[in-house]
Amino acid sequence: MAKESLPEWPPQLTEAQVHSLTLLATTYALSHGLVYLPVASVQPPTPTSTIHAPLSLFPSPVPRRLFNQARNLQSLYNKLYARIAMDEVFLDRVMGVNGVGKVDEFTGELWKRWKRLRDEGGVVQSLQLGLFRSDYMVHVPRKDEPANLKQVEFNTISSSFGPLSERSSQLHRYLHASTGYYGASAHLTADKFPPNTTISGLVEGLAEAHRAYNIPDTRILFVVQPGERNVFDQRWLEYELLERHSIHVIRQTFDELSASAHIEATTKALRITLDPSLFSSPSSSTSNSASIEISTIYFRAGYTPTDYPTLAHYDIRYLLESSRAIKCPSIPLQLAGGKKVQEILTKSGVLESFLPEDEHKPHDLTAIRETWMEMWSLDENGDSGVQKARDKALELVLKPQREGGGNNVYKESIPAFLDTLPEAEREAWIAMKLIKTPEGLGNYLVRAGGGGTGLEGAVKTEVVSELGIFGWALFGEKDGERKVVKEKEAGWLVRTKGKESNEGGVAAGFSVLDSIVLVD
């Protein structure tokens, strides 16, 4: 689909209509849990107020064929990254002390603890769970060429905003049902709003791991950051686990786990010791016990160096990794999501080693490859990787081995950054060609506070949107062989940012939550 096939966006509204939509959107968001905790130097232990999450007034147009393509690819990506996580030799070579871990302290500390665990024979749980998100943008290489789908990155840890993205799509359905968007666009019809059931999709993966653990009266542990403002995105998963699957959740930070977590010497079960009065329930046999066994550890923390301010925090991660609980993700699966792995996959023959052609049709591998932009390591062939990045700086983004937004270096900032980057650290960075997104697409972006716009926080601006497809995979050793036990596509999100912004993280303050109107 050529750029010209995308409609002019957003549809034209009067100032009164913008006011009306903004009021409807923000009150709906506050009424339906599309919310954040407000900014505070220290979050109170018991929240007393919320603000609506950053949002768009209109869903963003996405070609139907590209949306379907992204969803169809997710199963292949689920299998690909599960198999990478099970390939110790590959990860040791790429991310270990002779690879990225040699020059990137964060990666190195994680890898060293995984290696220590293997050397000590301490891997007692062969099953792993991945809750994934594959992020894409619509790429328009030239005006006269069809648009295509290009992958930004693949996330293997703390793949967030699934629940709030479902709320965001419900918000746009509500605005359409209540106002018809004032007849502003023929594209805005109910059949163009795709369903979004990301909460149940992600929870199905967590529940599958819990059932595979198969010990009564266990709970799922959410490892969280202190003072988390995006807590409601996590709580919706917790509510669904309890209401749909009767599975309880415990939330703990790394610091809390340093006092509460211990591992049984014989069974290697992870147990959390807590105040027993907090768990009194006539339906639970653990009601008089302060020690709760954990079936599955779901990390919503641990993806950034700031989550490990001391070596003792890495040791807490090691303790959790050495338990019998199923990890989501394990350390190897977290390492598999590194940008260096994404770059290595583009090299000849690497993809086939994980998705052999006797298992997959050749066009499956072609379909994956066609989503990749050109990328290379800065340490490629001595100085040539750096020189190439200098020569093409205005077409590039440089990426380190980090998640969470705000870490990349873009275009005109690249030459000065390369001047200061030590040669020894080049291996930890990749260069990637920038995706050329459609021109002329806009939206109304609404953030709590409004910024003095006079439109209740709605700001009309040219935008770039990023489509994320969620999936999950339960994998590991079963029946004597390493395999993907079960996997599924699990929903989607859209994040939209002003075109002047390079970064895309919602929690980092760059993007707003959006949804989709399909364009044929």
Query: Among residues 3, 101, 134, 153, which one is catalytic?
Result: 153
Number of Cβ within 10 Å of residue 216's Cβ equals: 9
**Backbone torsions φ then ψ of 287, nearest 5 degrees:** -65, -25
Instruction: Give catalytic status of residue 302 as yes or no.
Output: no
In b/e form, how buried is each residue of 412-432, taking b as 16+ CB within 10 angstroms?
A: eebeeebeebeeeebbbbbbb
Query: Among residues 3, 79, 300, 399, which one is catalytic?
Result: 399
What are the angstrom distances between the C-alpha of 364 and each of 69, 358, 400? 11, 12, 29
Distance CA 422, CA 292 (A): 47
Torsion of the alpha carbons at 354, 359, 364 and 370, rounded to the nearest 10 = 20
Query: Among residues 60, 134, 155, 515, which one is catalytic?
Result: 155
Closest Cα to residue 56, out of 449, 459, 405? 459
Instruction: Give catalytic status of residue 468 as yes or no.
Output: no
* Phi-psi label, residue 432: left if phi above 0, alpha if psi -120 to 50, beta otherwise: beta
Instruction: Give catalytic status of residue 495 as yes or no.
Output: yes
Q: Are 465 and 512 in contact (CB under 8 A)?
A: no
Instruction: Give catalytic status of residue 353 as yes or no.
Output: no
The tokens of 27 are what? 């009150």
Query: Among residues 192, 317, 339, 340, which one is catalytic?
Result: 339
Block residue for tokens 């220290």: 42
Instruction: Give catalytic status of residue 403 as yes or no.
Output: yes
Query: Among residues 403, 427, 466, 487, which one is catalytic?
Result: 403
Distance CA 350, CA 353 (A): 5
Query: Among residues 404, 405, 442, 498, which one is catalytic?
Result: 404
According to DSSP, the residues that pair with 446 across neighbouring strands are 55, 458
Question: Catalytic positions, please?
Answer: 133, 153, 155, 160, 339, 399, 403-404, 495
